[in-house]
Amino acid sequence: MLELEFDPKRGIWASGEDADRLRTNHFGESRDGRLWLKPEEVLYLVDLQNGAVRHGNRSLGFADVVAEFAGREPRFMIRYNAYRDWRDRGLIMLRADGSAKGVKRSSHVKKYPSRKMCLGKIDAQLIWDPGSAMGVLEDARTSRMLFEDWWLGQIGVYKQERGSVLKLNFFEVMLLANHFGLKVFDSGSGKAVTAKKIMDDVSKTREFARILFQAYEDWRMKGYIVKTGFKFGTHFRIYFPGASPVKESRDGKWVHSKHVLHIFPKEEKMLISEWARAVRVAHGVKKTFILGMPKLTQRDYVDYPADFVAYRRKKQGNSWVRETPKDGPRYLVAAVSEDEHIGGVELASLLHKADNMNLELILSITDRETAITYYALKKIDLPGAKYEYYEIEWMRP
């Protein structure tokens, strides 16, 4: 049995051979000839390593430790579940005190190609239906060029060769009016409509219209094809430059998107379970989930606490061995539960903190049955982008 000692004013520690054994496995902090343990370490040792906590003649069980520390440790059990799961995998996890620095790894950033959208000025007139937030273009030559060469709008029926009228959504109309000189006329009055007027009107009925358009513009102006992500529970789906509705893939089938994009305004808060569900839907259809957020200024960031720094395994000869504090941590871990909300500012602040520590951010999500799901967030390098973008991947430590 592993014996630990408890003093309400000083904490919990191990000594002698027990301390040596724990120190070898990177538990605790050596001080004053003893090994002092964090509350989550104590819970783990009591719960799963046959540990016993003594306080005089009294023995403290798991519930006693929880009662002792839960009031002082925010979201104590959520954090413990994250710690327990990582340790059960034979890996090391330590408290994030801000001092640990990771080794800058190229794998923390994904580079995306970029090329300028060189469409040229459009000499055509579009009829704008403000109630539907859609436009109609009947110029056959211009319509074919926009649809077949740039995949803007939809001619006829989606995936069917029927119809000849080009219908464009709000984002497409704004893009063409803003950057390529498309003339827009109101369907009711017949008067010319500016891009500013369109944006002002749509913003009254469409939540986050400006923010979504800025992200759409970010990707479109860098050569990407951006279409609705409605079927996948996201704002957009993304095709890499060169995709076309009239060009088949190498296997002769319809070209499918490989990425979906969801925008997270800084003032919005989202239930963790809903956010995770969207990521899982994307992964279920073999798409990469991209999260986009407006860039924050230094004043916008908040001190949202991260919980742990974590280590993984490395190749040593022909074997895989666990990393230790000598290697430097790989991840900054934030422990959350499926029933919590997280906001754009909080998530951006965590990502900023991870970047400053040369670490990759992981969200450790505890469900109601205490099972853990991990999502890793990798920054996307999209040159000249107005927003910050991150790939979110389900991961297994």
pLDDT confidence of residue 101: 79
Cα separation, 113 vs 101, whole angstroms: 30
pLDDT confidence of residue 170: 95
Higher pLDDT, 40 or 114: 40
**Closest to 168 measured CA to CA, from 212, 134, 198:** 134
Per-residue pLDDT tens digits for 339-389:
999 888 888 899 989 988 999 999 999 999 999 999 999 889 888 888 989
- Mean pLDDT over 138-152 rounds to 92
pLDDT confidence of residue 361: 94
DSSP, collapsed to helix, strand or coil, labels residue 306 as coil
Give the pLDDT band (50/70/90) at residue 265.
confident
The secondary structure of 71-85 as a DSSP string is: TTSTTHHHHHHHHHH
* Least reliable range by pLDDT among 56-70, 100-114, 145-159, 241-255: 241-255
Q: How many CB atoms lie within 10 A of CB 105?
A: 12
Full set of structural domains in the chain with CATH = 2-73 (3.40.1170.20), 74-115+222-397 (3.40.1350.10), 116-206 (3.40.1170.20)
DSSP, collapsed to helix, strand or coil, labels residue 148 as helix
Give the pLDDT band (50/70/90) at residue 248.
low
pLDDT confidence of residue 280: 87
pTM of the complete model? 0.86
Share of the chain above pLDDT 90, in %: 61
- Mean pLDDT over 99-120 rounds to 80
DSSP, collapsed to helix, strand or coil, labels residue 274 as helix
State how far the alpha carbon of 369 is from the alpha carbons of 58, 68, 84, 275, 338, in Å. 31, 23, 14, 18, 10
Do 153 and 146 contact (CB within 8 A), yes or no?
yes
State how far the alpha carbon of 374 is from the alpha carbons of 56, 84, 341, 394, in Å. 40, 13, 16, 6
Beta-carbon contacts of 239 under 8 Å, excluding residues fewer than 6 positions away, are 151, 224, 225, 226, 227, 255, 257, 258, 259
pLDDT confidence of residue 252: 45
